[in-house]
């Protein structure tokens, strides 16, 4: 019963209530025009509530773990320079790109215990977030996170073809914890994580990640990046 209750009564992110109210009001008006249209509005209202769901997550708390900031599919893993606006050392780092479709939870979470060293917004285009060039061309919001051991992570929220709004709840010099909510993107997008130099990945392309739960990397491990295959 607890599992059913948790599935039916999931927390709604505060960003969603204006949209849910708008959809619900439109549904009532559609019922006055034609009942079938009203039921279509009910379905859309339910989808809107589903989109803005914000479930609790069980975050691994061991020091050194890098946790996924987003729900979605690990779409790309490669080496790239972090966003220039973060003013990080111009060295290529492993970048993990996680693509969120319109059915994924869109609340983003902090990948590791850290202090926010910088927050930088960059205006841009709204290309399909699954394209590699979206990391450079699209509108984005970037966080530079200073870890306790002196190393740094970067987390980048990237707008997509449908997403038109990036929300970030944290500010520079703010201490943050792994798994803590730091923002969201409406409605379908991508989040990139730039690891410190020399750190391997514990996920593979095509794997599904869960924000606040899936371990992307272990900063204290010398294990090489893992590979994966469909079976």
Residue 211 has pLDDT above 90, yes or no: yes
- Which of the four pLDDT bands, split at 50, 70 and 90, describes residue 127? low
Residue 37: pLDDT band (50, 70, 90) is confident
189: annotated active-site residue: yes
pLDDT number for residue 97: 95
Find the mean pLDDT for residues 104-108. Answer: 90
Report pTM: 0.86
Lowest model confidence (mean pLDDT) among 11-25, 50-64, 189-203: 11-25
How far is 71 from 212, CA to CA, in rounded Å? Answer: 9
Q: Residue 96: its pLDDT value, please?
A: 97
pLDDT mean over 81-98: 93
Whether the predicted pLDDT of 4 surpasses 50? no
Res. 3 pLDDT band, cuts 50 70 90: very low
Distance, in Å, from the CA atom of 106 to the CA atom of 167, rounded to the nearest integer, reads: 11
Contact 126, 138 (CB under 8 A): yes
Pair of tokens at residue 199: 């750190």
pLDDT tier, 166 (very low <50, low <70, confident <90, very high otherwise) = confident
Q: How confident is the model at residue 126 (pLDDT cuts 50, 70, 90)?
A: low
How many whole angstroms separate alpha carbon 85 and alpha carbon 141? 10
DSSP string, 30-97: HHHH-HHHHHHHHHHHHHHHHHTB---------TTEEE-SSSEEEEEEEEEPPPGGG---S--EEEEE
Whole-number Å distance between alpha carbons of 148 and 12: 33
SS3 content of the chain, % helix, strand, coil (to 5): 20, 30, 45
Classify 13 as helix, strand or coil. Answer: coil
- 27, 135, 189, 221: the catalytic one is 189
What pLDDT does residue 129 have? 63
Assigned architecture for domain 65-218: Distorted Sandwich (2.70)
Q: What is the pLDDT of residue 130?
A: 65
What percent of the chain shows pLDDT beyond 90?
A: 52
Tokens of 226: 């893992």
Q: CA 153, CA 141: separation in Å to the nearest integer?
A: 14
């Amino acid at each position: 019963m607890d599992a059913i209750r948790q599935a039916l009564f999931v927390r709604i992110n505060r960003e969603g209530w204006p949209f849910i109210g708008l959809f619900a009001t439109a549904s009532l008006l559609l019922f006055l025009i034609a009942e079938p249209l009203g039921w279509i509005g009910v379905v859309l209202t339910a989808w809107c509530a589903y989109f803005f769901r914000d479930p609790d997550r069980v975050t691994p708390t061991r020091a050194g773990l890098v946790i996924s900031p987003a729900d979605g599919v690990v779409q790309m893993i490669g080496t790239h320079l972090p966003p220039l606006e973060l003013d990080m050392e111009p060295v290529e780092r492993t970048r993990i790109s996680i693509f969120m479709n319109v059915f994924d939870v869109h609340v983003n979470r902090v990948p590791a215990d850290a202090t926010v060293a910088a927050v930088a917004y960059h205006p841009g285009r709204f290309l399909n977030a699954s394209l590699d060039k979206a990391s450079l061309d699209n509108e984005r919001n970037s966080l530079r996170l200073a870890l306790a051991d002196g190393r740094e992570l970067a987390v980048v929220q990237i707008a997509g073809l449908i997403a038109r709004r990036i929300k970030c709840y944290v500010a520079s010099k703010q201490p943050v914890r792994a798994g803590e909510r730091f923002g969201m993107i409406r409605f379908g997008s991508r989040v990139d994580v730039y690891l410190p130099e020399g750190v391997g990945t514990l996920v593979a392309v095509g794997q599904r990640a869960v924000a606040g739960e899936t371990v992307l990397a272990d900063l204290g491990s010398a294990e090489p990046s893992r590979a994966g295959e469909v079976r």
